[in-house]
Each structure stands twice: as C-alpha cells, then as structure tokens.
Amino acid sequence: MDIECTINGTERTFEVSKSELLLDVLRRNGYTGAKRGCDTGACGFCTVQIDGEPTMSCITPVTAVDGASIETIEGLGTQDDLHPVQKAFVDHSALQCGFCIPGMIMRSKALLESNPSPSEAEVREALADNLCRCTGYKKIVEAVLDASESMPPAEGVATDGGSTPADAESAACGDGCTLDRRSEQDLETEGSP
Ligand code: FES
Ligand code: FES
C-alpha cells in the first residue's frame, strides 16, 4: 500500500506494508537521523514530530501517519546554520556519543513550541521518556532552558558530554554525522541502550 505524508515540508509517497513501523520506513528512505535504540518505546532515540507532537517512531504504525506532517532532525538546521536548539546543545557540550541527541532535540523542540518558557522542572518532565546512556542530563536541561531564551517561540534541547565543539555540531545535526553513525552501529549491534 502507499502512504502519503509530508516530511520536513516535502510531500512524499512511500510504498509500505501494513504492518510496518514508521521508524523502519523513515530509515529505509534515508531519514536516518531518527535512531533505533530499544525498538520498544522505552528510550526515545527514535523521536520525531508528527503533526507537531513528539512521537516515538519505533512503535508508531506507518499507517497512522497517512496524511500527516512529520518533522525529523534532517528538517532542522545544517552544520553551517544550526537550529537554535541544536546550537544550544553544542554551546553547552550537551552530548557525548550523540546517539540520543536527535530524539532529545526533537522532543525539546516540541516542548518549546508548546511552552516557550518552561521551568527546569517542566523541561525535566518533558524529557523523562528520552534516555541518554553516556552523559548526565544536567547539560541537556541547561541547553533546553538556554534555547528557550534564544529562539523565537518554537524549538530546543541537548545532552551532557565530552566531545569537541566540532564533534558536538556533527552529532547535533543528526544525519551526516560520523559520531552518530559509529554510535548507531554500536547500538544496533548491542541491541538496546
Ligand atoms: S528506539 Fe524507539 S523508543 Fe527506543
Ligand atoms: S546516549 Fe546520549 S550522548 Fe550518548
């Protein structure tokens, strides 16, 4: 069957089977910024926005997005022109391996679009379903709060880390990222975070 949807502002039609999940279809069609961690809706690595709502694509039937508008990390900024949330993650060195970052950023962007000035408690609550296995959450929360002050009502997030600024920019951009790809291979080999 065919599924028609809008991804990052572009209308797309995908040939899918009824039993497929959105994450599989996205990744098969080049949207590899959404990561596969647990594959059970427990880690948030695969988070994208569907009609503005942060959604775990690994447990979303692809049939549910027929006619929907989907945003993935590829639709945000580039390494030369980061989205405010991406920039905040980089500025706060809020990541290490970067594997969780696309999901963190999409979740944070959704939060800031619905609540432009969240409290720290609200940021922590919003990110509760997004896990990071290699860093603390302090820098991530700080990045989201920073993004809430620096961007026009709608976007932001980050992780804690030890990467160089250049590494951080790559990871924050989702696809086209050496750190992401290496980490993704590691996780897919290991199975879960
Ligand atoms: S891969 Fe989707 S929630 Fe973990
Ligand atoms: S899993 Fe979050 S930076 Fe590595």
With cut-offs at 50, 70 and 90, classify the pLDDT of residue 136.
Answer: confident
Out of 29, 54, 75, a domain closes at 75
Is the pLDDT at 102 greater than 80, yes or no?
yes
Q: Read off the pTM.
A: 0.82
Pair 26, 101 in one domain: no
Across the range 109-120, mean pLDDT stands at 95
Q: Is 38 in the pocket of ligand 1 (CB under 6 A)?
A: yes
Q: Which of 76, 71, 52, 67 is nearest to 14 (CA)?
A: 67
pLDDT, one tens digit per residue, over 70-80 is 999 999 988 89
pLDDT at res. 114: 94
CA of 47 to the centre of ligand 1 (A): 7
Give SS3 for 7. Answer: strand
Answer whether 193 contacts ligand 1 (Cβ < 6 A).
no
Rg of the chain taking only CA atoms, in angstroms: 15
Instruction: Tell whether 114 and 180 lie within a shared domain.
Output: yes
> Looking at the domain assignment, is residue 12 inside a domain?
yes
Distance between the two ends of the chain, CA-based, in angstroms? 33
**Domain co-membership, 61 together with 136:** no
Report the number of distinct structural domains present in the chain. Answer: 2
Any ligand 1 atom below 6 A from CB of 21: no
Confidence class for position 135, pLDDT limits 50, 70, 90 = confident
102 lines ligand 1 (CB under 6 A): no
Question: Is residue 142 assigned to a domain?
Answer: yes
Parent domain of 173: 77-184
Ligand 2 atom at minimum distance from 95 CA: 3
The pLDDT assigned to 169 comes to 55
Query: Distance between CA 144 and CA 166 in Å, rounded?
Result: 20
**Residue 67 pLDDT greater than 90, yes or no:** yes
Do 36 and 61 lie in one domain? The reply is yes
- Cα distances from 140 to residues 12, 91, 98, 115, in angstroms, run 33, 11, 12, 17
Angle at 102 between CA 173 and CA 187, to 5 degrees: 110
Alpha helices in the chain (DSSP H): 22-28, 84-91, 101-114, 120-126, 138-150, 165-172, 178-190
- More confident: 59 or 155: 59
Q: Using one digit for the tens of pLDDT, what is the confidence trace for 12-64?
A: 999 999 999 999 999 999 999 999 999 999 999 999 999 999 999 999 999 99
Pick 185 or 100 by higher pLDDT.
Answer: 100
Check residue 189 and give its pLDDT: 34
Domain membership of residue 33 (yes or no) is: yes
Residue 102 falls inside a structural domain: yes
State which of 75, 107, 128 marks the end of a domain: 75
| Whole-number percent of the chain with pLDDT over 90 | 72
Query: Do both 179 and 158 map to the same domain?
Result: yes
Determine the pLDDT at residue 37.
96
Whose alpha carbon is nearest atom 2 of ligand 2?
A: 132
Q: Which one of the ligands is nearest to 26 CA?
A: 1
Residues 104 and 114 in one domain: yes
The response to whether residue 97 sits with its C-beta less than 6 Å from ligand 2 reads yes
Q: Which residues, 6 or more positions from 163, have their beta carbon under 8 angstroms from its beta carbon?
A: 93, 95, 96, 98, 171, 179
Q: How confident is the model at residue 174 (pLDDT cuts 50, 70, 90)?
A: low
